[in-house]
Amino acid sequence: MLWLELTKDPRHGGLGWEFGKCLWSPTLKKNGGQWPYWSSLVSVKEGDCVIHLKKETHDWYFAGYSIALADGFTTSERPPEPRENGFAIEFNRVDLKDYQPFPNPIPLKSVFQEKDQQLREYFQTNKAKRKNIRKNLFYDEIEIYDRLQCHNGAYLTEVDEQLASILFGVDFSGRINDGKLPIIDAKTGEILRTLKTRIGQKEFSDNVRNNYNHTCCFPDCVVSDDKFLVGAHIIRWTDSPEFRGNISNGLCLCLMHDKAFEIGLFSLDDNFRIVATNAMPANEWFTFNIRPYIGKQIRLGARTPLLEALKHHRVRHKIVT
């Protein structure tokens, strides 16, 4: 999932709560009420991507992106510099990693100008939806001044594929998009395409794990904690773009079996049974963890693995059935 953070203060929250290191907000408003732009922090999941929209002087700029290090959570720990939010007893927080700045920050003013009509149409379509499915957008359409502007009080908002495509000229749904923005330079465009890839891989992994009920599909493996599970590609992401996002090109494996599959210690035949490398290693790990399961069928999900993908994996690792 893709999120958008709006931040005005370069101090962010002080030591340990810096910009690009975390997202944070009070859990409740001063009057005890909920604020959806704060509540959304606890909906962030590990691996989600966060684009940062910073205010510099009087203008807003898309400055870069980060990755959620873990799920959002609530804590009684206080930021060293809460400033106007010092009234709060508890805070929502998301730890971040891998902050990647854009070489040339993208001015929001220019995006509003270039994509004015599309953003207005998106806004009106969202506004017409029922309240329970309407998105909390980071911008408003100000009719009296006939302009778009940041929503007052917005902090963290969800950005779906359509809105991401409008804002950045990169089709985050995976389809070809010719709506590139002239204000985005080549280097920043490449970073955005990398971001798109990360989002696609995260979504793929989530869908694959769902398909196998969040349990390693290797015979008799009991690992069922998502922290130790991977939505593994059968045909690698870089090898076959046409299979990207296809759930049937994935297996849910624990970290140990994922690594063994990745380096070709085992594969699957067309009946989804374990087949091993012809040059079976004579080590204790292989003897106890792979060899006893040769010929046994994996646990199958609702979507079974693609036979074409399995053949590709066997050929790549020279495994003959």
Co-location of 68 and 14 in the same domain: yes
Q: What does the alpha-carbon distance between residue 311 and residue 296 come to, in Å, rounded to a whole number?
A: 18
223 and 306 fall within a common domain: yes
178, pLDDT greater than 50 = no
125, 272: one domain: no
Residue 177 has pLDDT above 60, yes or no: no
Whether 134 shows a pLDDT value over 70: the answer reads yes
Q: What pLDDT, on the 0 to 100 scale, is given for residue 172?
A: 59
Among candidates 244, 61, 89, which has minimal Cα distance to 167?
61
pLDDT in tens, 257-313: 999 999 999 999 999 999 998 777 778 889 999 999 999 999 999 999 999 999 999
Q: Quick one: 153 and 28 in the same domain?
A: yes
Helix (H) or strand (E) holding 51: strand 49-56
Reply yes or no on whether the pLDDT at 179 is more than 60: no
Q: What is the pLDDT of residue 170?
A: 67
Residue 182's pLDDT is what?
59
The domain boundary residue, chosen from 195, 223, 258:
195
Given a cut of 90, whether residue 228 has pLDDT beyond it is yes
Structural domain containing residue 223: 213-316
Is residue 139 over pLDDT 60?
yes
245 vs 30: which has the higher pLDDT = 30
Same domain, 150 and 229: no
Q: Are residues 122 and 182 both part of a single domain?
A: yes
| DSSP symbols for 157-204 | EEE-HHHHHHHHS--TTSS------TTS-HHHHHHHHHHHHHHHHHHH
Rounded CA-CA distance 35/37 in Å is 6
Q: What percent of the chain has pLDDT over 90?
A: 69
Supply the pLDDT for residue 21: 94
* Domain end marker among 195, 226, 243: 195
Residues 19-40 have pLDDT tens digits of 999 999 999 999 999 999 999 9
Q: Are residues 222 and 145 in the same domain?
A: no
Contact (Cβ atoms closer than 8 angstroms) between residue 159 and residue 3: yes
Residue 203 located in a structural domain: no
User: Residues 120, 170: one domain?
Assistant: yes
Q: Answer whether residue 310 is part of any domain.
A: yes
- pLDDT, residue 1, reads 83
In this structure, is residue 200 part of a structural domain? no
* 244 domain-assigned: yes
Quote the CA–CA distance of 315 and 321 in Å, as a whole number: 10
Which amino acid, 275? V
The reported pLDDT for the residue numbered 118 is 94
| 321 assigned to some structural domain | no
Structure tokens at 269: 């035949």
pLDDT higher than threshold 60 for residue 176? no
Residues 63 and 138 in one domain: yes
Answer yes or no: do 233 and 190 share one domain: no
Q: Is residue 205 part of a domain?
A: no
The yes-or-no verdict on residue 48 having pLDDT over 70 is yes
Tell me whether residue 206 is in a domain: no
Residue 139 covered by a domain: yes
Is the pTM higher than 0.75? The answer reads: no
Number of structural domains, the chain?
2
Shared domain for 157 and 250, answered yes or no, is: no
Specify whether the backbone of 172 is left (phi greater than 0), alpha (psi in -120 to 50) or beta. Answer: alpha
**End-of-domain residue from the set 195, 226, 245:** 195
Is residue 42 predicted with pLDDT exceeding 80? yes
Whether residues 58 and 178 fall in one domain: yes
